[in-house]
Amino acid sequence: MTTIRLEGLDFFAHHGYYDEERKVGNRYTVDVSVDLDEVNFNDDDLNHTVNYEDIYLTVSTVMSVSTKLLETLASAICQELLRQFPDITQVSTAVSKHNPPIKGVCNKATVSITQRRNNI
């Protein structure tokens, strides 16, 4: 098995439960990990793996659609990566909202979700 990770993908996006959050926007960080089975690296061919630039573009597209919950967002990223890339067998995604609107000091709130191909 091969794992590809993209860590620290930063976005400014309009997600949140409260209307004001979706209006004003906030900083989000996404970490994504995808697992692939039986990848052949002997020929040094990008077509025999998943291009991490394409992973980034998929995450970016999902991040541009406003949602209320981080859980919904993380799940949507997993589902879209599994849908677009048939070689991916499992995706783990962590979405962090910086300075969430809670009554206290919190640098970020994070939701992590893992989905396998047989779960979509």
**pLDDT tens digits, one per residue of 48-98:** 889 999 999 999 999 999 999 999 999 999 999 999 999 999 999 999 999
Say which of 23, 68, 97, 108 is annotated catalytic: 97
Which whole-number Å values give the CA distances from 53 to 9, 26, 28, 80, in the listed order?
12, 24, 19, 15
The amino acid that residue 59 corresponds to is V
Burial class (CB in 10 A: 0-12, 13-18, 19+), 102: exposed
Report yes or no: 16 and 22 within 8 Å, Cβ to Cβ.
yes
The pLDDT assigned to 37 comes to 86
The amino acid that residue 82 corresponds to is L
The pLDDT assigned to 1 comes to 86
For the question of whether the overall pTM of this predicted structure is more than 0.85, the answer is yes
Residue 108 annotated as catalytic? no
User: What gap in Å lies between CA 66 and CA 82, rounded to an integer?
Assistant: 20
For the segment 34-39, the average pLDDT, to the nearest whole number, is 87
pLDDT classification of 118: cutoffs 50, 70, 90: confident
The DSSP element (H or E) to which 57 belongs, if any, is helix 52-63
User: What gap in Å lies between CA 88 and CA 49, rounded to an integer?
Assistant: 9
Can you tell me which residue has the tokens 């573009």? 57
The DSSP element (H or E) to which 52 belongs, if any, is helix 52-63
